[in-house]
Amino acid sequence: MIERDEALRAVESSLDRPSAARIYDYFIGGTTNWAIDREFAEKVRARLPLMGDYCLTSRQFLGRAVRQSVRTGIRQFVDIGSGLPTAGNVHEVADEERPEQDVHVLYIDNEPVALAHSQILLADTADPDRHQAIAADLLQPEELWERVMDSDVIDVREPIALIVNAVLHFIKDDQDPDGVLSFFRDRVAPGSLLVLSQMTNENPVDDEERQALADLLEYYESTTNPGVLRTMAEFERFFGGWPLLEPGLVYAPAWHPDRHTVFKKAPSESRVIGGVARKPAL
């Protein structure tokens, strides 16, 4: 486990710029954020008043995707870019859905602070035989996959739900997200699920919203995680042609909504798209 002193040093070294993980945490009501993150978040909120609801949409989609994955028989989750722990962590949702408590979860993040907080959370609340957090980078897929295989909580020979939630809007095309996701799709077992979501610039309601979304990208250029928005057509390729579970690639609130879902009555206002696809049998 990362030592607390090391975590504090990581925090101190990251305070010169806002962190996307901490900004997200602030928007969904978390407490692991600092003044520089809150100041940036409020600047974004002034331009996009619903930004907090967009972030909550992503978090809610994750929870519903985990529940549906468990219901389809998935018993292993690999959450890449898991970020800072907050309400509705994957292992908590899975254990609520599966009282037998036989679901295994591996959290992966490349940000030392996020990893440290995840490991502290798991030490306090989780089952170390089933839940772990490790350091690895989505953009270094071979090294990441080696760490997954070396873990003692995931059996890569069996189906996995591979989660990349609210991460791909921080991966620009010149960073080769296509190659990265192709690598993982090739290696997971048949029957595995791929859970993806990101923010979109699909069909802005007017020129004002179009400009606001452009401004959002400009703002994030000053953070540790510059971003990119994609349309549904641009995003769908990341599933690699795998069959999508119903209802397909949609605005996230339209994906198996429940009574808590924000934007349930107007999913397209959420600015978040997502879907879940299954790897076909050989």
Tokens (6 digits) for 74: 């998935």
Query: What pLDDT shows up at residue 73?
Result: 97
The pLDDT of residue 4: 47
Quote the CA–CA distance of 30 and 135 in Å, as a whole number: 22
Tell me the pTM.
0.91
pLDDT of residue 221: 84
Instruction: Classify residue 218 by its DSSP letter.
Output: H
| Helix/strand/coil for 264 | coil
Give the sheet arrangement for strand 161-165, strand by strand.
131-135, 104-109, 76-80, 161-165, 193-199, 272-278, 250-251
257-266 CB burial, b ≥16 within 10 A, e <16: beeebbbeee
Q: How far is CA 28 from CA 50, 55, 103, 215, in A?
A: 12, 6, 26, 21
CA-CA distance, 125 to 243, in Å (whole number)? 35
Average pLDDT, consecutive stretches of 10 residues, N- to C-terminus, the chain (282 residues): 50 66 86 87 92 94 98 97 81 94 93 74 80 91 96 96 96 96 98 97 86 87 83 97 98 97 96 98 82
∠ CA(251), CA(139), CA(151), 5° rounding? 95
